[in-house]
Chains A and B, each alone.
Chain A
Amino acid sequence: MASEAVPLTIRKSPLAVVYEWLGTADHKKIGLLYIVYALLFLVVMGIEAVLMRIQLAHANSTFLSPQVFNRLFTLHGTTGVFFVAMPILVGFGNYLVPLMIGARDMAYPRLNAFGFWMTAFGGLLLYGSFFAGNSIAQAGAAPDFGWFAYAPLTSTAFSPGHSTDYWNLAILLGGVGSIAGGINFVATVLTMRCPGMTLSKMPLLAWMNMVLGGLILVTISPLTAAQLMLMADRYVGAHFFDVQAGGSVVMWMHFFWIFGHPEVYVLIIPCFAFISEIVPVFSRKAIFGYPAMVAATVCIGFVSLGVWAHHMFAVGMPSYGNAFFVLTTMVVAVPTGIKIFNWLATLWGGRIRFATPMMFAVGFLFQFLVGGLTGIMLATAPFDWQLTNSYFVVAHFHYVIVGGIMFSIFGAFYYWFPKMTGRMLSETLGKWHFWIFLIGFHLTFDSLHIPGLLGMPRRIYTYEAGRGWEIWNMIASIGVIFQGAAVLIFVYNVVKSYIAGKPAGNDPWDAWTLEWATTSPPPEYNFAVVPEVRSRRPLWDIKHPEDPDWKYE
């Protein structure tokens, strides 16, 4: 007789399964839909990167035409921000937040589904541009003006055809989906917590997803507004960005970066959440300085709204304008530094277990720090005047995005895949994945700082020989092979473990938050009995009734 209850398996027809997934409003399924969707676009984005790096490996390369290259970097950036990073992070948040706060689902399940499908259709619309005709101007319809779509390049005069429209409408749809998600996160965390879980007893992931939700509300909306203005310019002859009528193209830059800078914090805050959950469990210590972590995150959320023009130092703002943004950008590094110190203090004196999630987390700590430091370098306006629009900037943001965000997402995969599927990912394959990806990441992005310092601009489809750039570009391109191989190992790991991985049980990592209190995968209703908590680590209290956390908090 089995000692554990065996779930009743009802055979469903394939059509019923498809309908269940297409029509679901369950946060776990929607979370998985977001994650799978994002992974598919991650592969697409990776292919775009591979093509670009092949083109840039040699000087005077003719592998790709300049027109195709422009479309590749535009789509690589746009896809990466809106259809890979945001969906995957929102997906993890959707899956985990209700479980971690002891709730049955998000506050607005149907709005959740709406948000996912808006995002999904946005991405499909963007890539539909490849299949659209070339228009009379033979302009091609895939966007080719860079992911920030500066005016007046996007006006009808300078982008004939419909490339701008595909970009604009696709992101507008995705933006509406994101705002829906933002509303949902804030409402869920504020109104759906289980009894006893006051705000100061929530897991940090819940706090950070709430800050994320609030930040999304005030970050995506400016982009939506700017895009409505662009639509007005293009369709009804408005003059928002029309210089000939006295309009200002710098205004697009302001509005875009008022979105664009907080957006990168939208991307990194969920990653902070993953690290804040993984590092304590694998150091066997509670997170150091919980209140400071919360305060720092909220602080980052607010300050990030005031730094946007550090993307515009070379535009010609007055000196006091530049100085203001230099200062605010430096200030935002302070709460970020506090968080890094707290993670290090959590590690200090802990009994560290280097399972794969922890390896990715440690990679994150080091790489995010370095990426942040190059950011501080760029925050000094005179330094930026030399290096703006160069590969130094490209190296900086890929360091934080790939070295930071991507590493923490991989860590989150290894940590929560057992919960989502009931099976462990292979540790051996995980370690291969980690080391090969690490080597590839550093080969590519450490190298790219140097051409930047040597003057290589970004978004050029080729370069002449003899400037000292070739060797570094070649090394960077070789690094891509390693990263690609590592991602393939990861995909193989995911597929193989899903089918035949070691069964995980409820709590394979001996962790402390509520998601580990239910089965793997959780039942539809999450918890048979609504949990009641008395501390930040409810499972620690259950496992150690003689020494519970609430005596010390």
Chain B
Amino acid sequence: MSAMGANVAASEGAWQLPSRGKVGMVCLIIAESAIFTIFIAAYVFYIGKSLSGPTPREVLKVPVVGTICLLSSSLTMHWAIAALRNAKTAMFGVFWFITLALGTIFIIGTGLEWRHMIYQDGFTIQTNLFGTTYYSLVGLHASHVIVGLIGLALVMIFALLGKVKSEHTERCEVFSLYWHFVDAIWVVVFTTVYILGR
């Protein structure tokens, strides 16, 4: 069943169909993008509408390091896939690990930022409209990063066990679509929260 997905060659010319994994992942990405769009709409609508409590300028620190890490992780992911396609499994393992590490740095950074805001500044989801929309939007993104990290870790384990070969490139590419989506969403969230909304 899994082999039938990509190409069903007919007796005459080659009968080409799109890749099942890629189409499925793109559909998931479309659905998730719609969810994020609603949260972004709520965020944008509520900019400046908080009745009390801290404003973005007062509590937000722009997560430069985290952002650079997350966006570079897309690049290292891309290099990992390219290495796997050329059967360079060792290089694949290295780049995949770097991707995992960069993603982890991002999530730790977010966690530290939140710990500071919650415990030092007393700024929570309950504080005001800004708190509500900020934590839910960035939190939604962070949860998607965590899911991605779990997937990355699983593949890392398989790679360390030597089980990931070049014939698995397609599957890793499907996963990489998800990771690139997470990055792209961060660009939008970052722009909305740290640039537009400050």
Contacts and interface: CB of A to CB of B under 8 A. Distances in A.
Interface of A: 104-105, 107-109, 179, 182-184, 186-187, 190-196, 213-214, 217-218, 220-222, 224-226, 228-229, 232, 236-240, 245-248, 251, 255, 258, 530, 532
18 contacts: A108-B20, A182-B31, A187-B20, A191-B6, A191-B23, A192-B20, A193-B17, A214-B27, A217-B30, A221-B35, A222-B34, A236-B125, A238-B136, A240-B42, A240-B133, A240-B136, A248-B45, A251-B45
Given A104-B1, A232-B136, A190 B35 contact: no
B19 interface: yes
Contacts of A108: 20, 24
A548 B163 CA distance: 51
Contact of B8 (A184, A194, A228, A251): A194
Contact of A195 (B10, B23, B27, B39): B10
Contacts of A224: 35
A217 B24 CA distance: 11
B8 to A, nearest CB: 6
Interface string B60-89: 000000000000000000000000000000
A246 B38 contact: no
Interface of B: 1, 4-6, 8, 10-11, 15, 17-20, 23-24, 27-28, 30-32, 34-39, 41-42, 45-46, 49-51, 125-126, 128-129, 132-133, 135-136, 140
Given A232-B132, A251-B42, A179 B31 contact: yes
Contacts of A182: 27, 31
B84 to A, nearest CB: 23
A239 B8 CA distance: 52
Contacts, number: 121
A104 B20 CA distance: 14
B122 to A, nearest CB: 14
A289 B46 CA distance: 47
Given A194-B8, A532-B11, 9 more contacts: A183-B31, A187-B27, A191-B17, A192-B17, A195-B11, A225-B35, A239-B128, A246-B51, A247-B129
B180 to A, nearest CB: 18
B126 A236 contact: yes
Given A187-B23, A191-B23, A237 B125 contact: yes
Contacts of A238: 125-126, 132, 135-136
A524 to B, nearest CB: 13
A404 to B, nearest CB: 26
B18 A191 contact: yes
Contacts of A226: 38
Contacts of A248: 45
Given A226-B38, A255-B38, A258-B38, A232 B125 contact: yes
B35 A222 contact: yes
B125 A191 contact: no
Given A221-B35, A246-B50, A213 B27 contact: yes
A257 to B, nearest CB: 12
Contacts of B6: 191
B95 to A, nearest CB: 29
B129 A187 contact: no
Contacts of B37: 222
Contacts of B41: 255
Contact of B34 (A195, A221, A228): A221
Contacts of A109: 1
Contacts of A217: 27, 30-31, 34
Contacts of B125: 232, 236-238
Contacts of A218: 30-31, 34
Max chain B CB contacts within 10 Å: which of A107, A213, A224?
A107
Contacts of A193: 17
Contact of A221 (B18, B23, B38, B132): B38
Contacts of A221: 31-32, 34-35, 38
Contacts of B11: 195, 532
Given A190-B23, A239-B128, A229 B32 contact: no
A184 B41 CA distance: 28
Contacts of B39: 225, 229
A440 B103 CA distance: 61
Contacts of A184: 24
Shortest beta-carbon contacts, A-B, top 8: A221-B34, A195-B10, A225-B38, A237-B126, A183-B27, A238-B132, A217-B31, A195-B15
A246 B51 CA distance: 6
Contacts of B18: 190-191
B45 A190 contact: no
A239 B140 CA distance: 16
Nearest to A193: B17
A462 B45 CA distance: 40
Nearest to A225: B38
A247 B46 CA distance: 8
A195 B8 contact: yes
Contacts of B49: 246
B136 A187 contact: no
A318 to B, nearest CB: 15
